Structure 1
């Protein structure tokens, strides 16, 4: 009996699980070895301890373009142009690199400028042309700069807008304190739910990226709901961990869609973008 016939015969017996074990073990070992290599490289080369930055795989970037195309009802070709636009913004890259190098917290930040799913945020802002964006959770201000860059492009085309960036940490947003990006950003230091409650302008685009507990995320969406402009869009950076925005979309009669990113050459499995519109 040749090897193929033997394997097929074994597959029909009680010994099948035992016979398959070496192959299964080898498959798991190869996978774990790759993860360990990438993790070890990151431990040596990176300084980051949270809010990890990385590039997207080519396939993940392609899926992101289609995701934005669907939620914004825009041809995917136009979305790809927006993604290339932010990735090719050399002025912003130089600013982020130099501001990171000069920051007091530079010991916990990588020098490389990597946007990951944030290029999707950029494309959504370029497509939707919001007059007022509210972002909760600022940290260094990388996402704030990306959003501001989109607003500046929109303004140059006759569609001005502003970004309210909210964070409870008074040291947050050091990347977003330099012109021209700071010229369209209102940095608000305080509790996000309380700060949302006193907003005096309608909100066209809301992004949750602060405390990722279910309760806090839910309170933010509940707080911003009466502040929303007609046709506003809601985003969450927490979609891989909770179903809060999906539930909110169902209660309020909106559509919902989620995208999961795939980091390139990084141990972290990635985050995503949830959208309700």
Structure 2
């Protein structure tokens, strides 16, 4: 009996799990070794302790382009142009590198600029041309800079817009305090739900990226609902953790779609973008 026939014969016997164990163990070992190498390299080379930054895999970037194309109803070729636009914005990249290098919190930030799923935020703002974007959760201000860059491009094309950035930490947003990006950003320090309630103009695009507990995320979407302009779009950075936005979309008669990113060369499994429109 040749080897192939022998394997097939063993597979039909009670010995099959035992015979397959070495091969299964080898596959798990190769996977775990790769994860450990990636994790060890990150521990040595990165300073980040939360809000991790990384590049997307090539495939994940392709999927992101199609995701934005569908939710914004624009050609995928145009979305790819938007993604390339933010990735090749050397003025913004240079600013972030310099601001990070001189910041008081530079010990917890990486020098290399990596946007991950935030390039999707950029493309959505470029495609939708919102007059008023509101984001909750600012941290260093990387996402704020990306959103502001999109608004500045829109303004140059005759579609002006502003970003209201909400955070409870008075030290938040240091990356977004320089011109020209600061020229379109209103940084508001305080509780996000209370700050949403105090908004004095309609919201065209809302992004939840603050306290990622289910209860707080729901309170933000409930608070912003009466503030929304007709046809407004809702985004969440918490879509891989909760179903809050999907439930809100169903309750309010909207469509919903989710994208999950795949980081390249990073131990973190990634986050995503949830959209209701």
Looking at structure 2, the residues matched to 253 and 7 of structure 1 have their Cα atoms a distance apart, in angstroms, of: 55
Question: Matched residue of 1:49: which SS?
Answer: coil
In the alignment, which residue of structure 2 is the partner of 1:236? 236
What is the CA–CA distance in structure 1 between the aligned matches of 2:11 and 2:219, rounded to whole Å? Answer: 53
TM-score (norm 2): 1.00
Secondary structure of the 2:52 match is coil
Aligned to 1:264: 264
User: Who is 2:159 aligned against?
Assistant: 159
RMSD over aligned Cα atoms: 0.4
Alignment of 1:208-247 (within 5 A): 208-247=208-247
Kindly report which structure 2 residues correspond to 1:68-217, keeping only aligned pairs within 5 A, or say none: 68-217=68-217
TM-score by length of 1: 1.00
Point out the more displaced range, 4-13 or 149-158.
Answer: 4-13
Shift of 1:18: 1.1
Q: Give the Cα separation in 2 of the matches to 1:61 and 1:224.
A: 30
Q: Which runs of 5+ in 2 are unaligned?
A: none
Please give the alpha-carbon distance, in whole angstroms, between the structure 1 residues aligned to 2:93 and 2:233: 27
Measured in 1, the distance between the counterparts of 2:6 and 2:140 equals 60
Provide the residue aligned with 1:29 in structure 2: 29
Equivalenced residue count is: 277
Residue 46 of structure 1: how far off its partner (Å): 0.2
Deviations 1:220-271 (A, max 9, x none): 0000000000000000000000000000000000000000000000000000
Question: What displacement does 1:273 show?
Answer: 0.2
SS in 2 for 1:53: coil
- SS of the aligned residue for 1:207 comes to strand
Q: SS at the partner of 1:186?
A: strand
Runs of 4+ in structure 1 off by over 3 angstroms are none
